[in-house]
Structure 1
Amino acid sequence: MYVTLNNQGYQLVALGNFPDAIRDEFPTLPLDRYCGGKFRYRRLSQYRIRHASTWELELLPHRPYCQATQYNSVMGGLLRKFLPLRIDPSTVIRAGADAVPLDKTLEWQVDVHQCRVIVNDDTRGVLVPEGPHRDGHTYSMIAVVDRQNIGSGETHLMPLDSDEPFLTLTLRAGEAIVLDDRVMRHHATDITAPVGQKGHRDVFLLAFNTWPERRYGEAYEAAVLNGTWRVGQ
């Protein structure tokens, strides 16, 4: 698998079926208690990657996750503590790295979020609490592992200066989109389920930054918390 971002800054990637060992982990994900509801469940791990004959992964010491408020007005400026992944995400990391494609002469830092969003009569299936946004990374990847008994959940890509999408699509299980987060915003509509029933959407959310511009570590966290962090630090 080796494709290149198109002239609009995104690329669709066919991943195929995920193994049962990965799919079976999603029902066990712990609640993401930072969202203000019981609709999202999540684990997170962070990696340093470098290319030899293939992309090699180094699992980084587990730390809280944080984003600057300029990118996440709902949960930015917080140290969010998630449990680490219990599965091997190397296949999806390499797929994203090759789809960009990342510069193989550089080392990169990668965030890997494993998420389930549920929906039922009592729970709204909110995929993106912060609305149309950038994540504040260089490249992002949304990889859908499973969709069960749901409608909607459309992915929207839009310019930085408009809420009018230039791309609207529904990613199916085994499909992913990779995008240049510097040149666009993205959003996803809520998922829905039939009345009296429940459904869910399982995804991996990945973020890639060069190692010198990593969104990881004590210095990054301190700069985010005191409001001094800027892109390029």
Structure 2
Amino acid sequence: MGVQRVLRVRMGLASGGPGPSDLRSARAGEANKAAGIICAAGQTPCWCVLWPTREGTIVRLRCTVGDSHSPELQLASPRDRRLAEQGVVAMDELTSPAFQSSPLRPVDMTPGQRLRAEGVIAISASAFPVSTPLPRVEWDSLAVDRYLPCGTYRFRRFGRVKALPGPSGWSLVPLPYRSFQQPAEVIPLYNGAAREFAPIRESLLRTAGMVRLIKTDLDIVVEATGRQQGYMLGLHMIRIVAGVQNGNAPAPEGRHRDGHQYVAMHLINRIGCSGGVSRVYHGKCEQPALVTTLSHPLDTLVVNDQLMEHEVTSVLSLPGASQSVRDLLIVDFDAIALTPASGTETQ
């Protein structure tokens, strides 16, 4: 039985040389826009080939088209290279005349399918299925993050929600406040210390916009995992006040994981600033799998935090701006084991 292929057009790596022709750039840009993928300016589009193997696993290949219009393929991550070495994917099929001559075309994939296949998705605000806005004024009352080691430009609140699946959909239960803690081996910057942030008001957690956003995130993650399970959610309201000269780093720990299973990042507002470019990597790969800038409210980035690392560049105030801020809502996901019979949480 032959290996079946699924092709998806997506953004590529930062350009390091001469770019493709205007025609191919336009075609890739149109496909990215249609798919709701955010593509930062100045990047060379490429195709990501999602290849179901004989064992049903999907490997990722970067596929660029040079001036000769011949696809150039490269396994995208160490995991994919290991699968090739184990003989799970037949590399000879990738160089076959049938594959080389087949047209590259975008196909429809849901956000959950893309997240499962690639480990990361960037969804533009126009494609994100939430129309009820969050009250942006809530980000004006965040408390200073006193644990930031390099200034007082980050403000935040923290809250927790338990999400359980049921016959009529998700049940969301706001939980009592407690401190936020990340293992030192994941984020060495804070030495594993418990950090006390101002709590998110329960009334905000129950607003229609917040509930719809959380449930949308849950649906994406559940589709990516293929398992209907409960989650303990951590919600982080964060404001970065942009710096004037060198900018302010939203995440001074640099390239990192957050220590959860999945993490969703939603832009709430962005005023009078530049920078804040997000880069996401497959594990320890040198080249990013995705580079994007969250620019419009509800531009969204979701990562498989167990497979990917991410970083974000400094945020710089624009000349003459009366206010320069970048507001985000971050949602982290940790699975809750449920009993098979009742679907209730196990202790």
Counterpart for residue 74 of structure 2: none
Deviates further, 128-137 or 48-57: 48-57
Cα distance in 2 between the residues matched to 1:33 and 1:96: 29
Post-superposition offset of 1:106: 1.9
Correspondence for 2:229: 106
Checking the alignment, whether the CA contact within 8 Å between 1:51 and 1:104 is kept in structure 2 is: no
Q: Relative to structure 1, is the Cα distance of residues 59 and 123 closer, same or farther in structure 2, using a 3 angstrom cutoff?
A: farther
Higher helix share: 2
Do the aligned partners of residues 195 and 105 (structure 1) sit closer, same or farther apart at CA in structure 2, a change above 3 Å counting? closer
Partner of 1:216: none
Instruction: Confirm or deny: 8 A CA contact 1:108 1:211 kept in the other structure.
Output: yes
Instruction: Report matched runs for 1:184-223 at 5 Å.
Output: 184-195=308-319, 197=321, 198-212=323-337
Find the counterpart in structure 2 of residue 229 from structure 1: none
Instruction: Determine the C-alpha separation between the residues in 1 that align with 2:294 and 2:173.
Output: 29
User: Alignment partner for residue 152 of structure 1, among 275, 285, 298?
Assistant: 275
2:288 to 165, 169, 174: 165
Matches within 5 A, 1:113-132: 113-121=236-244, 124-132=247-255
Report how many residues are paired: 211
Matched, 1:91 2:209: no
Match of 1:45 in 2: 159
User: 2-side partners of 1:205 and 1:12: how far apart?
Assistant: 14
Note the residue ranges of structure 1 that are not aligned, 5 or more in a row: 213-233
TM-score by length of 1: 0.83
Partners of 2:243 and 2:261 in 1: CA distance: 35
Separation in 2, partners of 1:107, 1:8: 23
CA distance in 2, matches of 1:15, 1:28: 27
Is the 2:247–2:317 contact (alpha carbons within 8 Å) kept by the matching residues of 1? no
- Report if aligned partners of 1:141, 1:176 keep a CA contact under 8 Å in 2: yes
In the alignment, which residue of structure 1 is the partner of 2:65? none
CA distance in 1, matches of 2:191, 2:113: 28
C-alpha deviation, 1:51, in angstroms:
1.4
| 1:138-188 superposed Cα distances (whole Å, 9 cap, x missing partner) | 111000011101111111101212242111011122211111111110111
In 2: Cα distance, 1:5 partner to 1:186 partner: 20
The amino acid across from 2:306 in the alignment is: R
Structure 1 match to 2:307 = 183
Does the alignment pair 1:141 with 2:264? yes
Aligned pair in 2 of structure 1 residues 68, 41: CA closer, same or farther (>3 Å)?
same
Q: Is the 8 A contact 1:18 1:174 kept in 2?
A: no
**Partners of 1:118 and 1:199 within 8 A in 2:** yes
**2:135 aligned residue:** 22
Structure 1 residues 68-79: aligned runs within 5 Å: 68-79=183-194
**1:15 to 1:33, Cα distance in 2 relative to 1, 3 A:** farther
Write out per-residue CA displacement over residues 107-153 of structure 1, whole angstroms, 9 at most, x where no aligned residue.
Answer: 21000000000014378421111000011111110000111011111
Tell me the equivalent position of 1:11: 121
Distance 1:161 1:123 in 2: 27
Distance 1:126 1:41 in 2: 13
Identity in percent: 25
- SS of the counterpart of 2:302? strand
Structure 2 stretches of 5 or more lacking a match? 1-109, 338-347
2:85 maps to which residue?
Answer: none
Between Structure 1 and Structure 2, whose CA radius of gyration is higher?
2
Residue equivalent to 1:215: none
